[in-house]
Amino acid sequence: MPTLEIDGHSVTVEDGLNVIQAAERVGIEIPHYCFHPALTIAGNCRMCLVEIEKAPKLQIACNTRVAEGMVVRTHTDRVKNVHAAVLEFLLINHPIDCPICDQAGECKLQDYYMDYDRQASRFPLEHKVKKHKALDIGPLVMLDQERCILCTRCTRFLEEITKTTELGVFQRGDHCRIDLFPGKRLENLYSGNVVDICPVGALTNKDFRFRARVWYLDHTPSVCASCATGCNIDIHHRRGEMFRWRPRQNLDVNQYWMCDEGRMSYRRYQGEGRLLQPVVRDGGGWAVRAWEAVQRDVVTRLREIVGAHGAGAIAGIASAQATNEELFLFARLVRDSLQGRTAGLSWSPPDASQDDLLIDRDKNPNTAGLRLLTGADGSVDTLLSQVEQGNISALILLRTDLAPSHGQDVITRLGEQVDYVVVLDTHYGPTAEIADAMLPIASFAETDGTFINRGSRVQRIRESIRPPAQARAGWLVLSQLDAEFSRHAVPADANAVFTELAATHAPFRHLSYAAIGDHGLPIDAGAAAKPPAGQ
């Protein structure tokens, strides 16, 4: 743990860090473009030049490892001059097309120009080197060679992280340009990350291009729900609409990256197919009713069934798409309050994608939570055989779409064998065929809650945008139903649900929303091996 001095601040950091990272610890920004903590040192942008005592020349902070007694100065006139000089060099051939550039507002050229340069142009516009703009280099990514500052973050990412090397540097001097190698397209499974790490507007996301000014976007920390990895993300949104997802750094989960499949999955949650209003079956069609009316209707029907067939006649299936909070309330409603039985479904296609970087073949965000709170997968088949035997009269389906896993025929038969089916889901799906009531609930981007990823890590999701139309948070719908059949009060928020969950389930006992924070915490694996409390 060497101790060094940066601009008069003494800082002790772990060995192996560079001066940029050490300075960050004491809140000192050393501007840089090419350095990225997950990539090899390129040392080419020259923006991070600083004074190191005893070194006659300025040194690049990115390639300077901290050492005991090192004295660093980042704000001397010499350093300020070189910062301004490097920025001037970067900008002489830059097109300065900020008004039409998507990066504007989150561009390091803009930021550093304001912070470190602010001098008038000394270079005539007509002498700028012309390169290609709007090059379509892959399904997700557009390249503007004129905006590029040749920091090579993208080429290093493709060389070192995906190991696919689609992009390279061609030509020399100020005619250098990033381009595809002949015969290649940027179409690996992680191509979108080059847009995130590009410090300027050279690489832009085709899906996001020209759709929003970034300063109008809010962002909410969350977790991708596309697979069991649980990559940490930021959801960028405005006025109830999501515009993009970007990976959020979590060294224990996804480092700095996310896959393209996950990145683009946000589109699944807005637009076509969402359930927007609570509905009840009305002859061959659907009747839209007020929430309270539908809820009253569901409660009445469930009471009738319990009265007619006894407690065991009600069953529920929840999927690994549900949050821990929902699964906890679901189990409490069906098992405790209605004295019914539950089953859990975590299904992924047999040909599901997977790799050794981030993509998991389990396409559910919360399989681990489902196992802990609802029971094993096989229980769906057990439950279905109970249906076959005519023991089940009512079925509650939480985020469970049985069609891909069991086929439409099974759904149809279920409809014939079960008197009453309630569906709680985000989308109008195959189970609508047999549903008697459908309650629209929030997608994971519209509700607070937690998932447990493949590494047994509990991670928070947050309500980034309001659920569309009449849809409500799943925990709220479930707890309101439960309150009708029990003395349980309706909790104030998801946090209150989790507090109850943690109090009654040993693997969660050490956890709270505050403790989990933005980067998640593992469950108590020792406690998880024992049967869940309250069983």
Other C-beta atoms within 10 Å of 153: how many? 25
User: Which residues does residue 437 pair with via DSSP β-bridges, in sequence order?
Assistant: 280, 422
Q: Return the residue of 92, 214, 483, 516 that touches another protein, per CB under 8 A.
A: 92
Of 38, 85, 98, 496, the residue at the interface with another protein (CB under 8 A) is: 85
Q: Tell me which stretch binds another protein (CB under 8 A): 88-96, 341-349, 442-450, 471-479.
A: 88-96
User: Would you call 211 helix, strand, or coil by DSSP?
Assistant: coil
- Choosing from 47, 66, 242, 497, the residue that interacts with another protein (CB under 8 A) is 47
Tokens matching residue 63: 């390639």
Note whether 58 binds another protein by CB under 8 A: yes
What are the backbone dihedrals phi and psi of residue 437, each rounded to the nearest 5 degrees, phi first? -145, 140
Quick check: 430 binds another protein (CB under 8 A)?
A: no
Neighbours of 519 (CB within 10 A): 16
- Compare residues 100 and 120 and give the one whose CB is closer to another protein: 120
Q: Give the C-alpha separation, 298 to 106, whole Å.
A: 49
Which residue's CB is nearer to another protein, number 49 or number 302? 49
Tokens of residue 400, six digits? 């469970």
Contact window for another protein (CB under 8 A) among 81-89, 203-211, 294-302, 479-487: 81-89
Toward another protein, which CB reaches closer, 42 or 384?
Answer: 42
Q: In this complex, which beta carbon is closest to another protein, that of residue 123 or of residue 210?
A: 123
Nearer of residues 169 and 180 to another protein, judged by Cβ = 169
Residue closer to another protein by CB (options 90, 318) is 90
Residue 101 has which token pair? 């550039």
Both tokens of residue 393? 């009269």
Which amino acid, one-letter code, is at 504?
T
Q: Which of 41, 264, 299, 527 binds another protein (CB under 8 A)?
A: 41
Shortest distance (Å) from residue 234 CB to another protein: 30
Question: Does 118 participate in binding another protein (rule CB under 8 A)?
Answer: no
Please identify, among the stretches 56-64, 444-452, 501-509, 526-534, the one whose residues bind another protein according to the rule CB under 8 A: 56-64
- Minimum Å gap between C-beta 38 and another protein is 17
C-alpha distances out from residue 471 to 39, 422, 423, 466, 467, Å: 43, 15, 13, 9, 5
The answer to whether residue 96 forms part of the interface with another protein (CB under 8 A) is: no
Q: Which of the ranges 10-18, 37-45, 186-194, 357-365 carries the binding residues for another protein, by CB under 8 A?
A: 37-45
- HEC-encoded secondary structure of 259-271: CHHHHHHHHHHCC
Q: Does 180 bind another protein (CB under 8 A)?
A: no
Q: Of 36-44, 69-77, 140-148, 484-492, which part binds another protein (CB under 8 A)? A: 36-44
CB nearer another protein, residue 90 or residue 314:
90
For 84, the token pair is 């301004």
Determine how many CB atoms are found less than 10 A away from the CB of residue 107.
19
Closer residue to another protein, CB minimum distance, 176 or 527: 176
Go through 427-452 and write b for each residue having 16 or more CB atoms within 10 A of its CB, e for each that does not.
bbbbbbebbbbbbbbbbbbbbbbbbb
CB of 63 to another protein, least distance (A): 5
The reply on whether position 73 binds another protein by CB under 8 A is no
Looking at 119-127, 256-264, 310-318, 445-453, which segment touches another protein (CB under 8 A)?
119-127
Q: Does residue 43 interact with another protein by CB under 8 A? A: yes
State the minimum distance, in angstroms, from the CB of residue 152 to another protein: 8
Q: Is 49 in the site for another protein (CB under 8 A)?
A: yes
Of the residues 2, 7, 44, 312, which one makes contact with another protein according to CB under 8 A: 44
Residue closer to another protein (CB basis): 159 or 377: 159
Which of 5, 24, 88, 196 binds another protein (CB under 8 A)? It is 88
How far apart are the C-alpha atoms of 226 and 79, rounded to whole Å?
Answer: 46
- Euclidean distance between CA atoms 299 and 401, whole angstroms: 22
Closest CA to 367 of 336, 337, 334, 327: 327
Count of positions (residues) in the chain: 535
- Among 16, 27, 173, 183, the residue binding another protein under the rule CB under 8 A is 173
By CB under 8 A, residue 127 contacts another protein:
yes
C-alpha span between 154 and 142 (Å, rounded)? 13
The least distance separating another protein from the CB of residue 174, rounded to whole angstroms, comes to 4
Strand 420-425 and strand 394-398: pairing?
Answer: parallel
Residue 232's identity, in one-letter code, is N
CA distances from 104 to 210, 325, 504 (A): 11, 39, 49
Residues with Cβ within 8 Å of residue 531, at least 6 apart in sequence: none
* CA angle (249, 250, 251) in 5-degree steps: 115
* Binding residue (CB under 8 A) for another protein from 70, 140, 149, 523: 149
Instruction: Considering only the stretches 164-172, 245-253, 315-323, 384-392, report the one whose residues sit in contact with another protein under the rule CB under 8 A.
Output: 164-172
Please report whether residue 90 would count as binding another protein according to CB under 8 A: yes
Q: Considering only residues 67, 119, 123, 209, which one is a binding residue for another protein as defined by CB under 8 A?
A: 123
The H or E element containing residue 53 is: none
Binding another protein by CB under 8 A: which of 150, 384, 395, 477?
Answer: 150
With a CB cutoff of 8 Å and minimum separation 6, the contacts of 222 are: 232, 233, 234, 235, 444, 445, 460, 461, 462, 464
CA 188 distance to own-chain centroid: 19
Q: How far is the CB of 66 from another protein (least distance, A)?
A: 15
Distance separating alpha carbons of residues 97 and 162, to the nearest angstrom? 31
The residues that touch another protein, with contacts defined as CB under 8 A, are: 41-47, 49, 57-58, 60, 63, 81-82, 85-86, 88-90, 92-93, 122-123, 127, 129, 149-150, 168-169, 171-176
